[in-house]
Structure 1
C-alpha cells in the first residue's frame, strides 16, 4: 500500500503483544496498569484495617498479611502475562493465596471475604484447564464455608461472582493462547510464502537465463576457436551471441515487469490488513473471480484498490470501509467493477497532484485498458468505482 507507517499500526502492534513478555519498561508499565484497577476488592480490607476496630498487633499482622497476599497475587498474574512460573511454583503460590485468604477472613472478620475473588482469578488465569475446572469450585465452596462461619452478608452474590470471575479468566487465558498461536501461525505462513517466492524466482531465473547463458558460453568458445583460421565464421558466432544476449535481456525485463505488477488478490489481502491496523471495520472479499480479466486490467484494478485504501487510512477518518468486486453487463459490454466506499469525510485530500498520482494517475491507468473511474462524495462518506472490460469467451479461448 505505502511505506509510510499506517495510523493505528503501533496500537495494533501493542494489542498483538498479548501473551508475550514486555520488551521494555513502557510495556511493563502498561501491563501493570492493566492489572492494578482490579484490586478494587481490596478496598474493604483496607477500610477494616484503618477503622481501628482491631488491636495494634492485629492491625500490623493484617497489613503484613494483606501485603503478602497482594504481592503473591500480582506476581502470579503479572508473570503469567509473559514468562509464567513452572507448574509446581504456580500450585504453591495459588495454595498460599488460598491459605492467606482463609486465615485473614477467620481472624479479622467478614470484611476480608473478597480475597477469595483473587484466589479464583489466580486459579483460572494460571492453572491448567483441567486443574482450574475443580480448583475454582473448590475455592467457591471454601468461601461459602468461611462466609457462614464469619457471618458475612451476601455470600450467594459472592458465590456467583467468584465462580463467574474464575471461569471467565479461563476464557481469557484461552483467548491469549489462541492469539499467541495465531501470531506464530501468521509468522510461519509469511516465512513459507517468502520461501515459496524465492523458489519461484530461482526457477524463473533458471528457465530464463540457464539456456541463454549456456548457449552464449558455447558460442563464445566456438568463436575463440574459429577466430584464427575462420574469422568469418567467428564473426557469425559473435553475431549469434549478441542476438541471444539481447533476447535474454528482453526476457529478464519482461519477467521483472511481471514481478512488479500488482495482483488483485494480494492487494485485497493487504487492504484487509491495512484497514484492521487503522481500526477501520473492513468488509473485503477474500477470493476475486478474475476469469476473463487480462493482466493489464487486473493491474489497473489493483492500483485503484491500493490508492483507495491508502486514502481511506490516511485522509478519510473513516470507521467503516466496504470493498466490492462484481461483474456488470452494460451497453458497452461486460465489466468487472471495483467499488470502495467508506463513511469518512472524504478520501481525496492531496491525491490529485499530477499524472501518475492519485485519481489522475488512476484514470490514466484505467484509460489504457479501456476502463472507467468514478470517484466522489456520497451521502455518508466517499466512494471510488473502477471498471475494466471483461474479455469475451471468444477472446479468452482464441490463440491470440
Structure 2
C-alpha cells in the first residue's frame, strides 16, 4: 500500500484538470468515469496479478483496457493526462515477465511521447515524462522479481521445515527400533521358553521370568534416557526459536546467529534461561527491541537478555523463580530487573560446574 500510495501522486494533474472546469460538462463526467475505471483496473492488476496466475486472459485483457484508457484519456483531455502512462508501465512491470515487459514498457512510453508531441516540445516530453515513465516501469520489473523471490523463499522455508520434521521422525523411529527391537525380541523368546518350561521345569521357568524382568527394566531405563535426550534444550535451537518468536511478535531481534561451544550442562541451563527470558519479553514487556548476548570468559558462561519494554517493575513470577533454582543447582546465578531502558536478565554458570549435571525436565 505504501508503494502504491507513493505513485498515486501522478493522479494530481488529471484531478486538477477535471476540477478546474477546463472541459465541457459531458467531457468532465466522462473524464471522471474514465479516471475511476483506470484506477480500479490498475489496482486490480497490481494487487491481484503481481505473482503467478493460472490464465493470461484476465491480466492480458486488463492490461489492454488500461493501455486503451490511457490513450483515450490522454488524447481526448490533453497533456495533463500523460502521467497515466506511468501507471500503465508500472502495471506492465508488475504483471508481465521481463521477456515481455522489456518490449511493452518502451512501447507504452513511445505512445506517451507521441501523444505529448501534439502540444509539447520533444525535449520536454522526453525529459520530464518519457524517461521517468521508462525508468519506473523497469523498476517495477525488479519489484515483481523481488515479490516472486520472497514467495519462493517462504515456500522453500516451509519445505525445509517439513523435511526437517520428516528427518526427525525417521531418527526417532530408528532410535526406538535400536532401543527396543532387541529387548522386545528377547522378551518374546524368553516368554515362549518360560511357557514351555513351566509344567516340567518350574525352576528354570522362574529363571527365564527373572531375565524377562531384568531386560524389561533395562529397556525402560533406555527409553527414559532417550526421551530425556529428545527433550533436552539446546542453545542453538533456542537462539533460532528466540529469533522467530520475537520477529513474529513484532519485536526487533538482535540475536547471535550461532551458539558458542559449551559443556552440556551449561548449554542446557542457559538454553532454559533464554527460553524463559524471551517468553517474558513476548508476553509481558511490550518491547519493540530485544538484544541477546552470549559471552564465555572464565570463570563464567554468561547470557544477557535486555529489552526496551515496560516489564521490569513487577514481582518475579514462577518462571524466574524456577529458573533461579535451576541455575543455583549448578552453582549459577540469575540477575533480573530494570535495565537501561526496559528489563534485563543475566544468567551466569560457573565454568567449574559446567561438567556437572544440570536438572532438566524428567521423562514420565
What TM-score comes out, normalization by structure 1 length? 0.79
Q: Which residue of 1 aligns with 2:251?
A: 280
Tell me if the contact between 1:315 and 1:348 (Cα under 8 Å) persists in the aligned partners. Answer: no
Q: Which residue of 1 aligns with 2:224?
A: 253
Establish whether residue 289 from structure 1 lines up as the match of residue 250 from structure 2.
Answer: no
Cα shift at 1:313: 1.7
Cα shift at 1:87: 4.1
Tell me if the contact between 1:49 and 1:63 (Cα under 8 Å) persists in the aligned partners. Answer: yes
Establish whether residue 115 from structure 1 lines up as the match of residue 84 from structure 2.
Answer: yes
Map 1:347-362 → 2, pairs under 5 A: 347=312, 349=314, 352-353=316-317, 357-362=318-323
SS in 1 for 2:44: helix
Cα shift at 1:119: 0.6
Segment drifting more, 374-383 vs 40-49: 40-49
**Count of paired positions:** 354
Cα shift at 1:94: 2.6
Establish whether residue 240 from structure 1 lines up as the match of residue 211 from structure 2.
Answer: yes
Which ranges of structure 2 fall in alignment gaps of 5 or more residues?
Answer: 357-364
Distance 1:322 1:37, change over 3 A: closer
Map 1:1-400 → 2, pairs under 5 A: 39-49=8-18, 51-55=20-24, 58-59=27-28, 61-63=30-32, 65-81=34-50, 84=53, 86-87=55-56, 90-151=59-120, 155=125, 156-291=127-262, 293-294=263-264, 296-330=265-299, 335-347=300-312, 349=314, 352-353=316-317, 357-390=318-351
- Within 1, Cα distance between the matches of 2:354 and 2:23? 91
Cα shift at 1:58: 3.9
- Within 2, Cα distance between the matches of 1:176 and 1:323? 31
Deviation sequence 1:212-233 (CA, Å, 0-9, x none): 1011001101100100000000
Distance 1:72 1:382, change over 3 A: closer
Q: Which residue of 2 aligns with 1:4?
A: none
SS in 1 for 2:260: coil
- Within 2, Cα distance between the matches of 1:341 and 1:64? 56
Tell me if the contact between 2:313 and 2:338 (Cα under 8 Å) persists in the aligned partners. Answer: no
Deviation sequence 1:8-32 (CA, Å, 0-9, x none): xxxxxxxxxxxxxxxxxxxxxxx7x
Which ranges of structure 1 fall in alignment gaps of 5 or more residues?
Answer: 1-30, 396-400
State the superposition RMSD in angstroms: 2.9
Distance 1:277 1:198, change over 3 A: same
- Within 1, Cα distance between the matches of 2:344 and 2:242? 16
Segment drifting more, 136-145 vs 52-61: 52-61
- Within 1, Cα distance between the matches of 2:335 and 2:168? 35
- Within 2, Cα distance between the matches of 1:133 and 1:347? 56
SS in 2 for 1:133: helix
- Within 1, Cα distance between the matches of 2:229 and 2:293? 25
